[in-house]
Structure 1
Amino acid sequence: KIRTAIEPEIEMRTVYRRSPTSSYEKLSLDGSDEECSSSSMEISTPPPSPLWLGARNRGVEQWELGKVLFIVSFFWLSALSNWAVLAYTHDFAGWEPMPDIVFKFVPEIQIAHKMGDYFVTSSLICLVLLIVFHKHRLIVFRRMVFIIATLYFMRTVTLLGTYLPPSYSDNARRCREQHANFSLERLGVRMFEQAIRFGMQDETGKLCGDMLFSGHTLVMMVCMLTVTHYIPKKWRLLRFFPYCFTYVGMACMIVSRRHYTIDVVIAHWLTTFVFTSYHAYIESDQFSDRRQSVFHSYAYFRLIGWLEANIVPGRLENVFESPSEAVLALLGVKPKESAPREKLGVEKIV
């Protein structure tokens, strides 16, 4: 809903559109478009946060400090909770692998273990490149961190609720020795080992028991869905790479027996649901549409609404931009204008 401070006879022929970068365009029905300042209109959007930092310039999104700190804290709490649960469940998970439909027909392929790690790394590279070159990179980055944190929190709940035994054919050789008695000191040491390695483990002597929800599949799916959703249309053929990395990587997770089939399936379903529902909620055309949505009755989506309160509803404009332009804009440096064509020895066309 937009109200303009102009004459009634002109008001019916003019609408205003605001982009995610807080620039306004006046769209006239006669085809003439021009930019205008926010002082000439009143928009029924929530008031800006008091933690709003600086001004947007040349497509560089503002960071809201309080929300960023919340998202980062949520991410690290989710990661720490995953490592804590793994450190705990290792001593209580069974040692005999469970039957699996894929294991019944496909033998364990150990080389697929490393291949799966390579595909995870390749998917992350695709995600990083997208965020670096996307015009609204900070918005995309903030959304992805929050979604990943949400999924890792859900993974913590599943790991803590049910202890599945490792799926290797030689669990006794691959996994560390189990201890019958719980030790808080041992738990802290294991968590510290996980933290300094950011969740990565050695091939032998590893902590086992983090089944039921594949973390590798979670990461690859988020990368694939993000690239698919935010890549510009003219670059859409590049979506083939994250698709390939993700689904081949998921197959590697199973045939290497790093995860059961159900682990990968659950991770695929939950990641797709969280990513899709998040964007279905925030990409409503109006803030009022969000409040009328069935999602709004859940506290989680009201939290998302708070995080997205100062971002214009609707889908982001997917455009690539050199990261150097964003850096210059943050520093307040104006890019050098190119010399006139006549000074470059090119004849001016009239």
Structure 2
Amino acid sequence: MREMAGNVRLWTPKQVGRWLRDEGFCDYVDLLCNKHRLDGTSLLTLSEYDLRSPPLELKVLGDIKRLMVSLRKLQKQNADVLEELGLSYDGHSPQNSTAGVDWLCNGESVRDCDAVLDTLSDDQYHQYNNGKYKQQPRRLDPEYWKTIISSVYVVFVFGFTSFVMVIVHERVPDMRTYPPLPDIFLDSVPRIPWAFAMAEACGVILCSVWLLVLLLHKHRSILLRRLCSLMGTVFMLRCITMFVTSLSVPGQHLQCTGKMYGDIWAKLQRAVAIWSGFGMTLTGVQTCGDYMFSGHTVVITMLNFFVTEYTPRSWNSIHTLSWVLNLFGIFFILAAHEHYSIDVFIAFYITTRLFLYYHTLANTRAYQQSRRARIWFPMFSFFECNVKGPVPNEYCWPFTRPAFLRRIIG
């Protein structure tokens, strides 16, 4: 058998059967060699996933592990043959190589993403088929009940944020005692009165684009759940930051004074007015004191990242439009002198870091090995426990055609 090792690529199923007998796997000769016609080339490309999954489906774990140990020794001896086949042996299995394998990350090739292959789940291993590796199809459960819970969560957080905004409005520092703080951008750029309305218009356009993407995306329930989870978490952090420290107003044009709303019911009525108007000046909502950090920046940045993440990379026009709206929206917020520069910077940083942190964990399933993630972000483990790996960018029409139209169209 040692002299045959150099010609493994030329082995016939009969020779593969002889190798199996020599290694002590007589029980699998009929299955692998007679039934599935395993020759030398297919033996070298065999992986543990192939042994566990149909059509082989070996049931004895010990046999699977022992067979893989023998197989890896054979692959190591024939690393040059694997290289000719477009596979490189790395000491574990040829399927771990990126050569010749079309790994996907959110519908894109691994060359275009930063995913770490070793942390991907078993669903993302690939099956050898006619000399090419193809991704195993997997079903993503929409879990609508979790999406409903995340929606309730974000609605509650928005309501709580509105109430905190009423509290901080009452605590806004007196402008006569505490004038606007020095700010390089605000001191250098003259105020544009209509700029804040334009910032909100950028947000409305981004929201419309996102709603269209969400409507047509095949996995819209997962996307909406992720948006609600992230948006709720960021705004909960915003409640803490704007409550613990009250900054002076950023401009004399605001003319903010502490308003006393009387009893708790008056405060709740004001909070409902802010909540129902989405905290936007376009809907007639005017607030003061909620500066650290900018809620408008959070919303437009989060929408931008969701639009660019869940649309194919080839949609360059959509991605360009999304980033232009995001950056111009931030500029208009500052040009209106409605927030300090630090408010906008912190909002952008926190939103982008939390988005990337969440999706890195979700795409690599690293939270299974990370106890820290479960402690600091328990909702993530709850919402993502059944979403194994990246969500592919697949689209479908959300509405079913009436029966008479299906009969006419066929």
Per the normalisation by structure 2, the TM-score is 0.64
Query: Radius of gyration: which is bigger?
Result: 2
TM-superposed deviation, 1:24: 11
Does the CA-based 8 Å contact 2:217-2:396 persist in structure 1? yes
Match for residue 303 of structure 1 among 375, 379, 389:
379
Q: In the alignment, which residue of structure 2 is the partner of 1:4?
A: 53
Match for residue 333 of structure 2 among 229, 250, 253:
253
Higher mean Cα deviation, 269-278 or 91-100? 91-100
Q: What RMSD over aligned residues (CA atoms) do the two structures have, in Å?
A: 3.9
TM-superposed deviation, 1:79: 0.5
Instruction: Give the SS at the match of 1:270.
Output: helix
Q: Which amino acid aligns with 2:53?
A: T
Deviations 1:45-89 (CA, angstroms, capped at 9, x unpaired):
xxxxxxxxxxx7xx8x53341x23321221122101110111111
Q: 1:319 to 1:334 in 2, by over 3 A?
A: farther
Distance in 1 of aligned mates of 2:213 and 2:245: 36
Q: In the alignment, which residue of structure 2 is the partner of 1:152?
A: 235
Structure of greater relative contact order (alpha carbons < 8 Å, 6+ residues apart):
1
Match for residue 367 of structure 2 among 290, 299, 315:
290
Does the CA-based 8 Å contact 1:282-1:305 persist in structure 2? no
Instruction: Give the SS at the match of 2:127.
Output: strand
Instruction: Give the SS at the match of 1:233.
Output: coil
1:27 to 2:127 alignment: yes
TM-superposed deviation, 1:210: 0.8
1:137 to 2:223 alignment: no
Q: Which amino acid aligns with 1:114?
A: A
1:56-75 matched pairs, under 5 angstroms: 61-65=141-145, 67-75=146-154
Q: In the alignment, which residue of structure 1 is the partner of 2:342?
A: 262
Instruction: Give the SS at the match of 1:28.
Output: strand
Q: 1:334 to 1:117 in 2, by over 3 A?
A: same
Does the CA-based 8 Å contact 1:25-1:33 persist in structure 2? no
Q: In the alignment, which residue of structure 2 is the partner of 1:348?
A: none
Match for residue 93 of structure 1 among 168, 172, 183:
172
Structure 1 residue runs without a partner (length 5+): 39-55, 340-350
Instruction: Give the SS at the match of 2:314.
Output: helix
Q: In the alignment, which residue of structure 2 is the partner of 1:102?
A: 185
Deviations 1:180-214 (CA, angstroms, capped at 9, x unpaired):
68632331221121133232347988231110111
Distance in 2 of aligned mates of 1:307 and 1:332: 35
Q: Which amino acid aligns with 1:4?
A: S
Does the CA-based 8 Å contact 1:92-1:163 persist in structure 2? yes
Does the CA-based 8 Å contact 1:107-1:255 persist in structure 2? yes
Structure 2 residue runs without a partner (length 5+): 1-47, 72-94, 96-102, 107-122
Distance in 2 of aligned mates of 1:237 and 1:117: 21
Deviations 1:137-158 (CA, angstroms, capped at 9, x unpaired):
2211111111111111111111
Q: In the alignment, which residue of structure 1 is the partner of 2:91?
A: none
Q: In the alignment, which residue of structure 1 is the partner of 2:359?
A: 279
